[in-house]
Amino acid sequence: MSGQEQDLSSYPPFFLHQSESVRTVEPKDSIPPISDEPDPIPCIDLQHLNPEEIGKACRDWGMFRLVNHGIPMELVTQLQEQSMKVFSLPFEDKQASLQSPITYFWGTAVLTPSRVALREKVHKMSRIEGIRARLDLLPQMTTDDPMFISFRNLLEEYGKHTAELTRCLFEALRKNVGIDHALSKPYLSEDRGFLRLYRYFPCSKPNKEEGISAHTDSTVLSIVNQDQVGGLQVFKDDRWIEIKPIPNTLIVNIGGMFQAMSNDEYKSAKHRVMNKQKERISICYFAAPEDDAVIHSTKYKPFTYKDFTAQVQEDRKTTGNKVGLQRFKPT
């Protein structure tokens, strides 16, 4: 089998049997121009955190670029390479093998069920013990397979770095907005955090097909590690701005839960991913509160993360869209 045939066999059959015009996503609203100016995203140095700088970034943008984050570049490169190997497995093998708690998805996004997204993802919860147990049980992920041994080890190491990084950032942001340390422990739960590895499929017309449509994240913080292909965009000042892929940097998003915790001082950034002419790998960690942690805010009625996610699912079923925090505004 040739390399090209092997690559095609890893794609969901839908994309092999549909013309590009059929699977092209055309948003209902017109797309504002994409900025081609030098990267304007605020840059924050983890080793020299300045409360005023990180606060301004979160108020003005709802996201920032993080440098000197402590995750080894070699680890990131290896995880990206191993992720591509897993995504390049035949489609039927991925569907059969990657099941809960490590799950495989493709195509239609839960954010917009009526649209077909040109991407696939592997999802896992952040608890390393559960990951190891499941990998050992999967038929094609036995300890005799060097690729999956390497993949498992890389996931474990990356997870440890990301968990430590998230705790550090949350502590800095918590202090900035005055969240009581004694009350904040359930606001960040390593057990509820999750990692998603995305592969975005190529398209012949860049910025015409959505890998993921415009949305804000529901969690506390999101940490995005994108490869050098690009495609991540943020909406600010009535335009979409391309977030340039800069090696050895991370993009940190404020999630809806932290927006509520901060009494709307920090806003969750609206962002999307547009497919490019090359495949793109993205490694995303989402930090979440405990399910029953009550979020207290002067802007919203008290609610739990479990309440919020249940309401989001209900809104998606009934309206086709995520309504989000607006549902919890005082009446």
Domain boundaries, the chain: 3-27+42-328
Single-letter code of the amino acid located at 73: M
Q: How far apart are CA 254 and CA 54, in angstroms?
A: 11
| Element at 266 (helix H, strand E) | none
DSSP, residue by residue, 261-308: HTTTSSPPPPEEEE--SS-EEEEEEEEE--TT-EE--SSS--EEHHHH
User: By the 8 A CB rule, do 279 and 202 touch?
Assistant: yes
320 φ/ψ sector (left φ>0, alpha ψ -120 to 50, else beta) = left
DSSP, residue by residue, 117-166: -SEEEEEEES-HHHHHHHHHHSTTS-TT-HHHHHHHHHHHHHHHHHHHHH
Q: How far apart are CA 209 and CA 64, in angstroms?
A: 25
User: Would you state the pLDDT for residue 5?
Assistant: 41
User: Would you state the pLDDT for residue 4?
Assistant: 38
Q: If we measure between CA atoms, which residue out of 62, 106, 67, 96 comes closest to residue 212? A: 106
Which residues are paired to 253 by β-bridges? 63, 222
Query: What 3-state class would DSSP assign to 268?
Result: coil
DSSP-derived letter for residue 18 is: S
Q: If we measure between CA atoms, which residue out of 187, 9, 191, 169 comes closest to residue 87? A: 9
Q: How far apart are CA 119 and CA 143, in angstroms?
A: 29
First to last CA, the chain: 62
CATH of the domain spanning 3-27+42-328: 2.60.120.330
User: By the 8 A CB rule, do 160 and 154 touch?
Assistant: no
238 φ/ψ sector (left φ>0, alpha ψ -120 to 50, else beta) = left
Query: What 3-state class would DSSP assign to 247?
Result: coil
Residue whose token pair is 């607006």: 326
55 φ/ψ sector (left φ>0, alpha ψ -120 to 50, else beta) = alpha
User: Would you state the pLDDT for residue 22?
Assistant: 39
User: Would you state the pLDDT for residue 192?
Assistant: 81
Q: How far apart are CA 297 and CA 310, in angstroms?
A: 19
> Which residues are known catalytic residues?
280
Q: What is the pLDDT along the chain (331 residues), one digit of tens a residue?
A: 333 344 567 766 666 555 444 344 455 444 555 666 677 899 999 999 999 999 999 999 999 999 999 999 999 999 999 888 888 877 776 666 555 545 565 555 444 444 445 555 455 455 433 333 333 333 344 345 677 678 778 888 898 899 899 999 999 999 999 999 888 889 998 778 888 888 888 887 777 777 888 899 999 999 999 988 989 999 999 889 999 999 999 999 999 999 999 999 999 999 999 888 888 889 989 999 999 999 999 999 999 999 999 999 999 889 888 899 999 999 7
User: Would you state the pLDDT for residue 264?
Assistant: 97
User: Would you state the pLDDT for residue 135?
Assistant: 37
Distance of CA 308 to the CA centre of its chain: 18
Structure tokens at 310: 């249940």
User: Would you state the pLDDT for residue 197?
Assistant: 83
